[in-house]
């Protein structure tokens, strides 16, 4: 298993209908992952459209997941 892909999926799974917007610190705490690792993965997911930046330094799922 490729660890970075697995971690990216874990990040995506953090977003729910109850928590549609999350920040790096929230995700890092929830997954017990290093904050810088989460930040780098989120930047990649954001550049590909899987996550989009929401107000107040948070992220949400992007429409690319629905394609």
Per-residue DSSP letters for 9-44? HHHHHH--SS---B-HHHHHHHHT--HHHHHHHHHH
Domains of the chain: 3-66 (1.10.10.10)
Q: Please give the chain's pLDDT, 67 residues, in tens.
A: 899 999 999 999 999 999 999 999 999 999 999 999 999 999 999 999 999 999 899 999 999 987 7
pTM: 0.93
Q: What pLDDT sits at residue 38?
A: 98
Judge whether 51 and 60 are in contact, CB under 8 Å.
yes
Which has the closest alpha carbon to 12: 56, 57, 53, 42? 42
């Amino acid at each position: 298993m490729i660890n970075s892909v697995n971690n990216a999926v874990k990040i995506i799974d953090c977003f729910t209908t109850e928590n549609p917007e999350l920040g790096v610190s929230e995700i890092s705490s929830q997954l017990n992952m290093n904050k810088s690792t989460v930040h780098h993965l989120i930047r990649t997911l954001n550049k590909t459209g899987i996550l989009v930046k929401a107000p107040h330094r948070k992220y949400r799922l992007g429409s690319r997941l629905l394609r």
